[in-house]
Homo-oligomer: A and B are copies of this chain.
Amino acid sequence: MLEKMSRLYAPTLKEDPTEADLASHKLLLRAGMIRKTASGLYSYLPLAWRSLEKIETIVREEMDSHGGQEVLLPVLTPAELWRESGRWDVYGPELMRVQDRHEREFALGPTHEETMTDLVNHELKSYKQLPQNLYQIQQKFRDELRPRFGLMRGREFIMKDAYSFDADEAGLKATYDQMYDAYDRIFKRCGLHCVPVAADSGQIGGSSSIEFMALAEYGEAAIVHCDQCGYAADEEAATAVIAVADGPATPDGEMVELDTPGAHTIEEVAALLGVDRSATRKSIALVNGVGEPVVAIVPGDHELNDVKASHAFGDYRLMTDEELESLGLVKGCIGPVGLPEGVLCVCDISLQQSLSWLVGANLPEKHLAGACPGRDFTPDEWLDLASAKAGDRCPECGAPLKEARGIEVGQIFQLGDKYSRALHATFLDQDGKERFFQMGCYGIGVTRTLAAVVEQSHDEAGIVWPVPVAPFEVEVLPLDVSDDLVWPAAQRLADELAALGVQTLLDDRKERAGVKFNDADLLGLPYQVVLGKRGVKNGTVELKDRADGERTDVPLEDVASQVAGLVDARRM
């Protein structure tokens, strides 16, 4: 396969686009691979499309060899089905809704649990027909409040989504494990360094979920992981063991009121009293989903985790200053002792370790030391509320956890019967008894995977494509296309490479060598073959490995087979 640069539609940009912060966003724009149509909406130009097709092929091969069957469902999904599952209302403005000419409502599918369940319902009738695992690759829609980072968080994106139907939980577990293996292979084959992490099930629901995170310095997601035993979880799902220190000692362990003038934050209180932040307690006043006032307390050196808080408090929000005042809570000095009637006190589970808390006194410029749960106040509930972070202990082995950032490229869920029950989707088991399908669902962000690859694999000069997902495998760079030695040699070499099955891009443009070198590094094909006048005269060309930058002089007559061999070894 041979393509010529003069013909290829890949308008490169010399300057970094101002709209882009993230490396993948910048480089995909600069290399002429993507263009923005509107906020969060991108067009994929030929180079990006070639890479996307390779990712899709890898996904298809692994899905097919792990029990999947490909289908394609409509983008327009009927509102009735979303209403049956209850998600029409839950989903909020992220779900793009459209009315047809007869005013019937549809959602532009962000995910297809409902329509897929509806598809098999009444057709998968017997346990004998199970398991089934149906997948599709399709443009999906999510009307993000703040689309950003290019392909990372767009409003329209390509996703592979799969849905499995099993007869029982053991079957679901087996299918889920199969998908785990498939995902592991898919991301490896794409050249991504991914870690599977325990995840929260979020809007999709279900009992168990794993995210595949491509590690990246500027990834959106925070992960904690344990080098000792391999445990990894996203911040939202991690149930770390948090080391909690007691507050300052008090005479006989009694509760003592302390003056803390001007100390309204954890940092200020810790500094004033000369204790570590872990010896303090952070109290957050909020209103839970059913309108009740709550004071949530976490270790002073940890944050209240939004997702954990949502599980605990529903659709909660922070209290306004007016609400604080009307309840007699003093901003900056809130604490669990002497809370007004009707204000719930919910404490992070880790705080059970300590019987001597340093907390706000609910009085201006005052804190309490030695406050003892059970004696001085009574928590209504102990829950997992705090975000895990580096230094916390691994829940599996107790070693200290480390922090990393990642890009979520895939997620697998055990849904159980959440959707089959809501949509009354049943089959007959061996005893002729009607049962709900045990479902799983499995997503891969195809366009996000592309961006993640670039995020993990680039340098100052541009993209560094792993061979399996590179738009082309080699670029042939004749430095002077008007030279009657160099140009014919370049053409012959390009033909030879193509004939050996190497996907070849020939830079046939009448541009200066500098422009060609820069563009070649920017596009980042795995190998470059540079043909200069002197070299060709002596029968040699320069072979550059884009990944390590190494340049080797290679005899012109050998270079095609050498490149073919190198590429083939890295194709997977």
- Indicate which residue in B108, B120, B134 contacts A98 across the interface (CB closer than 8 Å): B108
**A175 on the B face (CB < 8 A):** no
**A115 on the B face (CB < 8 A):** yes
**A491 on the B face (CB < 8 A):** no
Once the chains are docked, how many angstroms separate the CA of A511 from the CA of B319?
Answer: 66
A76–B155 contact, CB under 8 A? yes
- Indicate which residue in B119, B123, B138 contacts A139 across the interface (CB closer than 8 Å): B138
A141–B76 contact, CB under 8 A? yes
**A515 on the B face (CB < 8 A):** no
| Cβ contacts A42-68/B at 8 Å (1 or 0 each) | 111110011011000000000000000
- A441 CB, nearest partner CB in chain B, Å: 16
Once the chains are docked, how many angstroms separate the CA of A563 from the CA of B134?
Answer: 30
B98–A71 contact, CB under 8 A? no
Residues from 511 to 562 in A contacting B, C-beta threshold 8 Å: none
| Cβ contacts A88-108/B at 8 Å (1 or 0 each) | 000001101110110010101
- Indicate which residue in B94, B100, B138, B155 contacts A155 across the interface (CB closer than 8 Å): B100
28 contacts between A and B (CB under 8 A): A9-B71, A9-B134, A11-B123, A11-B124, A35-B119, A37-B74, A37-B115, A37-B118, A37-B119, A38-B74, A41-B74, A41-B76, A42-B74, A43-B72, A44-B71, A44-B72, A45-B71, A46-B69, A46-B71, A72-B158, A74-B139, A74-B156, A75-B139, A75-B141, A93-B101, A98-B108, A101-B145, A139-B139
* A37-B77, A49-B72 known, 20 other contacts, Cβ within 8 Å: A9-B69, A9-B71, A9-B132, A11-B123, A11-B124, A38-B74, A38-B76, A38-B106, A41-B74, A42-B74, A43-B73, A45-B71, A46-B69, A46-B71, A72-B158, A74-B139, A75-B141, A76-B155, A94-B101, A101-B145
Q: A residues near B, CB below 8 A?
A: 8-9, 11, 35, 37-38, 41-46, 49-50, 52-53, 69-78, 93-94, 96-98, 100-101, 104, 106, 108, 115, 118-120, 123-124, 132, 134, 138-139, 141, 143, 145, 155-156, 158
